[in-house]
Structure 1
Amino acid sequence: MIRVALDAMGGDLGPRIAFDGAVEILSRHQDVIITVYYSPISDLVLPSYHERLFLVACDDVVSGDEEIVLSLFRRRNSTLYQSLSALSQNTAEVVVTLGNTGAMVALARHILGVLRPKLYPALIRELYSNPLRCLVDLGANVHCPPSMLVGFAELGASYVEALGREAPKVGLLNVGVESTKGSVVIKETDRLLSSALWPPYYGYAEGTELFEGDKNVIVCDGMVGNAVLKASEGLLSFLMGRFKSSSTDNSLFEAFYQDERRHGACLVGVRGNLVKGHGCSDFPAMVGAIEYGIDIARADLCSAIEARLCNKPSGQDSEEMK
Structure 2
Amino acid sequence: MIRVALDAMGGDLGPRIAFDGAIEILSRHEDVVITVYYSPHSGLDLPKPHKRLSLIACSDVIDGDEEIVLSLFRRRNSTLYQSLNALANRSSDVVVTLGNTGAMVALARHLLGVLRPKLYPALIRELYSNPLRCLVDLGANVHCPPSMLVGFAELGAAYVEALSDEIPKVGLLNVGVESSKGSAVIREANRLLASKVWPTYLGYAEGTELFEGEKNVIVCDGMVGNAVLKASEGLLSFMVNKFKKAEGVSSLFETFYQTERRHGACLVGVRGNLVKGHGRSDLPAMVGAIEYGIDIARANLYSAIETRLCNEALESGD
Q: Which range, TM-score by smaller chain?
A: over 0.9
- Per-residue CA deviation, residues 198-253 of structure 1 (Å, 9 max, x unaligned), is 11100000000000000000000000000000000000000001111444532211
Q: What percentage of aligned pairs have identical amino acids?
A: 81
* Structure 1 residues 91 and 151: CA distance shift in structure 2, 3 A: same
Root mean square deviation, CA, Å? 1.2
Task: Could you tell me which runs of 5 or more consecutive residues in structure 1 were left unpaired when the two chains were aligned.
Answer: none
**Where does residue 25 of structure 1 map in the other structure?**
25
TM-score with structure 1 length normalisation?
A: 0.97
Alignment check: 8 A CA contact 1:8 1:38 kept: yes
**Where does residue 84 of structure 1 map in the other structure?**
84
Task: Could you tell me which runs of 5 or more consecutive residues in structure 2 were left unpaired when the two chains were aligned.
Answer: none
**Where does residue 222 of structure 1 map in the other structure?**
222
- Per-residue CA deviation, residues 71-126 of structure 1 (Å, 9 max, x unaligned), is 00000000000000000001000000000000000000000000000000000000
Secondary structure in structure 2 of the residue aligned to 1:230: helix
Write the distance in 2 (CA, Å) between the matches of 1:295 and 1:317.
33
- Per-residue CA deviation, residues 159-187 of structure 1 (Å, 9 max, x unaligned), is 00000122100000000000010100000
**Where does residue 243 of structure 1 map in the other structure?**
243
Write the distance in 2 (CA, Å) between the matches of 1:198 and 1:43.
52
**Where does residue 207 of structure 2 map in the other structure?**
207
| 1:32-43 to 2 correspondences below 5 Å | 32-41=32-41, 43=43
Secondary structure in structure 1 of the residue aligned to 2:304: helix
**Where does residue 66 of structure 1 map in the other structure?**
66
TM-score with structure 2 length normalisation?
A: 0.98
**Where does residue 6 of structure 2 map in the other structure?**
6
Alignment check: 8 A CA contact 1:198 1:313 kept: no
**Where does residue 146 of structure 1 map in the other structure?**
146
Secondary structure in structure 2 of the residue aligned to 1:250: helix
| 1:190-201 to 2 correspondences below 5 Å | 190-201=190-201
Alignment check: 8 A CA contact 2:35 2:53 kept: yes
Write the distance in 2 (CA, Å) between the matches of 1:204 and 1:30.
45
- Per-residue CA deviation, residues 6-46 of structure 1 (Å, 9 max, x unaligned), is 00000000000000000000000000000000001253110
| 1:253-268 to 2 correspondences below 5 Å | 253-268=253-268
Write the distance in 2 (CA, Å) between the matches of 1:231 and 1:178.
25
Shift of 1:50: 0.4
- Per-residue CA deviation, residues 254-311 of structure 1 (Å, 9 max, x unaligned), is 1111111320000000000000000000000000000000000000000000000001
**Where does residue 231 of structure 2 map in the other structure?**
231
1:46 correspondence with 2:46: yes
Aligned length: 318
